[in-house]
């Protein structure tokens, strides 16, 4: 099979992996132009400093021995199969890089003969790129669950980021939908990677001559949302544990897209994209806003609000916390106010060292006043002299977002209309 044909099959098969955030762009040049983002396997990801980088996103192979219910590449599906050799991936990466199409490589794979056999070839790609080709661009390697620690260690030495997909939010779901994968086979390499990252950071602090950093861009994982019945609370608690215990940089949530007919899978009218979006917002609160999963959700209210973002929903449930005086509150308290983000909270703390902040100053700082104004005072004065009843606040916030609030429900007196 020609390399370009393989590229079409294996870049198409890689598009379901969300842990390399693809823009999903579909643009083809006119016949006289150059460039094509539709079939080349190029996706866009964001670096830590916010830069958009182009990556060649492909699978080494889609010829899988496993039969995960949710996956298009499962062994029982009659799809066209293809596999690259390690050398082919190296050549493609170098050719794309030299032509300035990409800044790096995102390489994942189906399980070919067994996890170690597959991982060996993926590591060989990264090793050849770094050692033979002296490639200094970005490399993200997926770790195949069940691969040996030696191969995982090698992967972390050559790649910038490595990731093991946790796949599903519970062991029960894993057993039902991906019975050939074991929870231990996923969590053990994650824990190992977490320790190696910490260890190599310490070594670099102690000595300049320490070996290069292990996976300097950290480790991430991906979880499928909506293929199994776990609540958002279960999912957030799992993510919280992964951030704390496994030293994870990022958990990616991927709304379940039905690609197979399988009685073990739920029938959904459409992929749960709003749920995925709310989970990303809640995840942001865990990582940057000092919230815990238990503050955002509970056993009694285990799913995220569809109408409001998780921080506004929290503020509406905690009227006792507000209003907050903008000229006195500390940084952590400012972060609890809807409409105030990390940047605007920092700017508020910096600006008020010189003079109290005025209402006009708030807008200049970048505070989203249509949300924040219901929850703050500025030098003792409220912005909105409004009734602080949660129901009223809700309808005002909805109106501010351009959503018509639900009409008030008429009271039905017992026995009157029965």
Answer yes or no: are the C-beta atoms of 162 and 219 closer than 8 Å.
Answer: yes
* 10 in contact with ligand SF4 (CB under 6 A): no
Q: How far is the CB of 412 from ligand SF4 (least distance, A)?
A: 50
How many residues make up the chain in this entry? Answer: 418
Distance (Å, whole) CA 344 – CA 350: 10
Among 92, 110, 186, 362, binds ligand SF4 (CB under 6 A): 110
> In what side-by-side order are the strands of the sheet with 376-378?
324-325, 376-378, 381-382
In the list 14, 20, 43, 111, the residue contacting ligand SF4 (rule: CB under 6 A) is 111
User: What is the nearest approach in angstroms of ligand SF4 to the Cβ of residue 164?
Assistant: 12
Nearer to ligand SF4, 110 or 293 (CB): 110
Stretch that binds ligand SF4, among 30-38, 61-69, 236-244, 280-288 (CB under 6 A): 61-69
The CB-of-411 to ligand SF4 minimum distance in angstroms stands at 52
Which residue, 102 or 151, has its beta carbon nearer to ligand SF4?
A: 151
Structure tokens at 212: 């290069």
Nearer to ligand SF4 among residue 110 and residue 126 (C-beta): 110
Which tokens go with 363? 């807008």
Supply the minimum distance, in Å, between the C-beta of residue 157 and ligand SF4.
Answer: 24
Quote the least distance from Cβ 170 to ligand SF4, whole Å.
16
Cα four-point dihedral sign 21, 23, 24, 28: negative
Q: How far apart are CA 214 and CA 216, in angstroms?
A: 6
- Nearest residue (CB) to ligand SF4, 71 versus 340: 71
Q: Minimal distance in Å, beta carbon 42 to ligand SF4?
A: 21
The secondary structure element, H or E, covering residue 138 is strand 138-142
* Exposure string over 146-181, b if 16+ CB within 10 A, otherwise e: bbeeebbebbbbbbbbbbbbbbbbeeebbeebbebb
Nearer to ligand SF4, 85 or 260 (CB): 260
323 cis-preceded (ω within 30 degrees of 0):
yes
Among the listed residues 368, 311, 323, 322, the one whose alpha carbon sits nearest the alpha carbon of residue 345: 368
CB-CB neighbours of 394 under 10 Å: 17
Site track 21-60 with ligand SF4 (rule: CB under 6 A), x = hit: ----------------------------------------
Residues 6 or more apart in contact with residue 230 via CB below 8 angstroms? 169, 170, 173
Instruction: Return the number of the residue (166 or 178) whose C-beta is nearest ligand SF4.
Output: 178
CB of residue 131 to ligand SF4, shortest distance in Å = 28
Question: How many residues belong to the site for ligand SF4 (CB under 6 A)?
Answer: 9
**What residues have CB less than 8 Å from 117, skipping those under 6 apart?**
none
Beta partners for residue 376, in sequence order = 324
DSSP of 146-187? T--HHHHHHHHHH-SEEE---BSSSHHHHHHH-TT--HHHHH
- Taking the complex as a whole, the smallest distance from the CB of residue 110 to ligand SF4 amounts, in Å, to 4
Binding mask 167-206 for ligand SF4 (x = CB under 6 A): -----------x----------------------------
Site string for ligand SF4, 62-91 (x = CB under 6 A): --x-x-x--x-xx-----------------
Taking the complex as a whole, the smallest distance from the CB of residue 33 to ligand SF4 amounts, in Å, to: 35
Residues lying near ligand SF4 in the complex (CB under 6 A) are found at 64, 66, 68, 71, 73-74, 110-111, 178
């Amino acid at each position: 099979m020609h390399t370009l044909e393989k590229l079409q099959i294996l870049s198409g098969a890689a598009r379901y992996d969300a842990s390399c955030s693809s823009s999903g762009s579909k643009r083809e040049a006119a016949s006289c132009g150059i460039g094509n983002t539709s079939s080349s396997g190029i996706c866009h990801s964001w670096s830590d400093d916010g830069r958009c980088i182009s990556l060649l996103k492909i699978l080494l192979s889609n010829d899988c021995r496993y039969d995960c219910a949710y996956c298009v590449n499962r062994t029982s599906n009659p799809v066209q199969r293809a596999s690259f050799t390690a050398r082919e991936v190296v050549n493609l990466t170098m050719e794309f890089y030299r032509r300035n199409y990409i800044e790096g490589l995102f390489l994942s794979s189906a399980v070919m003969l067994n996890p170690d056999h597959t991982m060996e070839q993926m590591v060989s790609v990264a090793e050849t790129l770094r050692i033979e080709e002296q490639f200094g661009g970005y490399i993200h390697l997926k770790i195949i669950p069940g691969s040996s620690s030696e191969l995982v260690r090698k992967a972390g030495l050559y790649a910038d980021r490595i990731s093991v997909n946790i796949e599903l939010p519970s062991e029960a779901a894993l057993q039902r939908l991906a019975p050939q994968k074991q929870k231990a086979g996923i969590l053990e390499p994650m824990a190992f990677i977490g320790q190696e990252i910490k260890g190599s950071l310490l070594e670099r602090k102690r000595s300049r001559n320490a070996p290069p950093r292990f996976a300097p861009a950290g480790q991430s994982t991906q979880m499928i949302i909506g293929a199994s019945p776990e609540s958002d609370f279960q999912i957030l608690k799992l993510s919280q544990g992964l951030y704390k215990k496994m030293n994870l940089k990022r958990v990616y949530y991927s709304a379940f897209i039905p690609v197979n007919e399988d009685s073990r899978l739920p029938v959904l009218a459409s992929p749960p994209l709003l749920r995925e979006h709310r989970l990303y917002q809640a995840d942001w609160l865990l990582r940057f806003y000092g919230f815990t999963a238990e503050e955002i959700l509970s056993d009694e209210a285990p799913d995220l609000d569809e109408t409001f973002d998780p921080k506004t929903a929290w503020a509406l449930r905690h009227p006792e916390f507000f209003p907050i005086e903008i000229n006195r509150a500390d940084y952590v308290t400012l972060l609890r106010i809807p409409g105030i983000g990390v940047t605007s909270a920092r700017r508020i703390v910096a600006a008020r060292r010189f003079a109290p902040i005025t209402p006009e100053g708030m807008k200049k700082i970048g505070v989203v006043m249509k949300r924040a104004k219901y929850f703050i005072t500025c030098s003792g004065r409220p912005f909105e002299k409004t009734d602080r009843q949660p129901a009223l606040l809700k309808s005002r916030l909805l109106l501010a977002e351009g959503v018509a609030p639900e009409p008030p429900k008429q009271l039905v007196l017992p026995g009157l209309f029965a």
